[in-house]
Amino acid sequence: MTNPLLSDWNTPFELPPFDKIEDAHFAPALEEALTRSRANVTAICDASEPTFANTIEALALADAPLDKVLAPFFAMAGADSTPAREALMREFSPKLAAYGTEVTSNAALFARIEDLWSRREDLDLTEEQARVLMLTRRSFVRAGAQLQGEEAARLAEVKQRLSVLGTKFTQNLLADERDWSMPLEDTAGLPEFVLSAARAAGEERGADGSVVTLSRSLIVPFLQFSDRRDLREKAYEAWTARGANGGETDNRAIAAEVLALRAERAALLGYDSFADYKLETEMAKTPEAVRALLMQVWTPAKASAEADAAVLEQMLLADGHAAPLQPWDWRYYSEKRRAAEHDLNEAELKPYLQLDRMIEAAFACAKRLFNLDFAPIDVPLYHPDARAWEVTREGRHMAVFIGDYFARGSKRSGAWCSALRSQQKLAGDIRPHVINVCNFAKPPQGAPALLSYDDARTLFHEFGHALHQMLSDVTYEAISGTSVARDFVELPSQLYEHWLEVPEVLEEFATHAETGEPMPRDLLDRMLGAATYDMGFQTVEYVASAMVDLAFHDGPPPADPMQKQAEVLEELGMPHAIRMRHGTPHFAHVFAGDGYSSGYYSYMWSEVMDADAFEAFEENGGPFDPVMAAKLEEFILSAGGSEEAAVLYEKFRGSMPDATALLKGRGLAA
């Protein structure tokens, strides 16, 4: 039988034929794709005198067979995992790591790259080609291309082991999230939207009744509203114990080994620490710069959180409970305080924040800013919950956008944006296929999906990443879309969140699920007025995670990461009633792979820019100013990694910002 992963895709927009792909197709397709990609690399090495075309451009296309197999596989493995796909992940990870090392340690291939690098001034390259040559050579050097003998062999072993550990960490976390649930026997205090989500979760898991799960979209509102302090504690402790329950799914030993191997990898490459290695290519450049920004924000955030904690503890005492305020109490009393001080509660807001209307809002903003249109298309996708749209501009096909919004046991937690295919022009006018994945609570059959305001922000955030992919306009995939510095990649996503706060957007799209009436202006004003409410708590839990991540990688690796985590938090003076947003055993950003290792700070680094960037709109005609929108597209969204991030931002804004706008935006400015 023909393997669809190895055939031409005569499908709409050349999307993967998900209706024909079976798990059994992946392993033989991967082996054949590796063979073809290896042959492509061999052909490069056997070519005549190195040129940019027969070396750098040929290398950019060499892995096309592999990409064709892996794009649908990773989409399905992350958003709709099965035991078979988990087994394939464990099988594929070391193979792919070995292949990557094989390419970057290919002496003949690197010699060709070095030859071009030495003659770069005489090659008559475009600016984009010069950038790609530099990035290609740098990636080879940082992967160990200049190492030889035992050091090269050891680096290959380290990278292969790290890939195995990252896969195991992710699967352990998914297993803990999938296996835990709590029957919802006492509903005191819970509004209908929480009860509805719990019923749907019970149905999805085949449980006998409603359940609370470890999905953020369900457990957070449970912690906000449940009157049962003992049940809140039980649920919260299960949530924060993910990856630390002992047995086969415990991630603590994995975290320790990962940190030791990363430190060894950095040392083999000549760096003092893994943080020095990792940050070299980012905007921040050094651990000291990262720490300086985080501490600038930590001090006012901690003061704000401690003041809030004192108020919440008084509310706890008034309810007849003993102090101190505990982490499972914070969201409950904070929600009550928000209702009292801002006349605002989640149950009142949610009927106005329908998923479908928020998707329409994200699309409408993209239309006004960038003249993009979105039309639903009926194409086979990897799960019935996923849906797709064709994106066009004045009739020209720009992208396919896929949205997969609901939580399920087969989907890893969190929210992310990925691409089944990235924009490039080297192999023709290739337009991207972009996926946004979220974990919103799925409603019962026939009922509208309702979001929290935080959920709606997540939707806009991920759509900002999608725009970065969809509007990309470069020749080479290596610098396409989100292929930028890690502490720059969050700028488009966090910036796009600001359009959710524009009153005219909410007036049009925040409509009641039952009546269709727009959100009353006084409710809208109260919601926006409370935008910085509880920001001390949110900032403290985030910055604490970023500081622990940095401490793990800036210096010798800790033998006991949990002890190191405790030491960092004690030194910071972490408030008792707040814990890290991501404790070490479930810190997937850092341990599922090294994408955000030493880089969790990047959300805040980007936030410095996004606050400043939105101010640029407000200073120049408002949130839909066409001149600023055109500049945003030209210098940020379409440019990808074609220039250094700071250069691109300065072209957009004129200069780099400081943290003033960030502190102001979070309500933490003095």
What is the residue whose two structure tokens read 């080994």?
257
626 prior amide bond cis, ω within 30: no
57 is catalytic: no
Indicate which residue of 57, 462, 490, 541 is catalytic. 462
Other CB atoms within 10 Å distance of the CB of residue 506: 23
H or E element in which residue 154 lies:
helix 149-179
Which long-range contacts (C-beta less than 8 Å, at least 24 apart) are formed by 652-656? 652/613, 652/616, 653/609, 653/612, 653/613, 653/616, 656/609
For the chain, what's the residue count? 670
Q: 64 CB contacts (<8 Å, ≥6 apart)?
A: 37, 40, 427
Q: What is the DSSP letter of 518?
A: B
Q: Which tokens go with 578?
A: 């707040």
E-strand spans in 479-535? none
Within a 10 A sphere around the Cβ of 1, how many other Cβ atoms? Answer: 6
Q: Which residues pair with 440 in a beta bridge?
A: 406
Q: How far apart are CA 644 and CA 236, in angstroms?
A: 42
What's the first-to-final CA gap in the chain, in angstroms? Answer: 68
CA gap 465, 609 in Å, rounded: 15
Alpha-carbon distance 127 to 230, whole Å?
Answer: 62
Please enumerate, as own/partner, the contacts of 565-570 that have beta carbons within 8 Å and a separation of 24 or more. Answer: 568/544, 569/544
Q: List the structure tokens of 64.
A: 């096309």
Amino acid letter, 191: P
Active-site residue list: 462
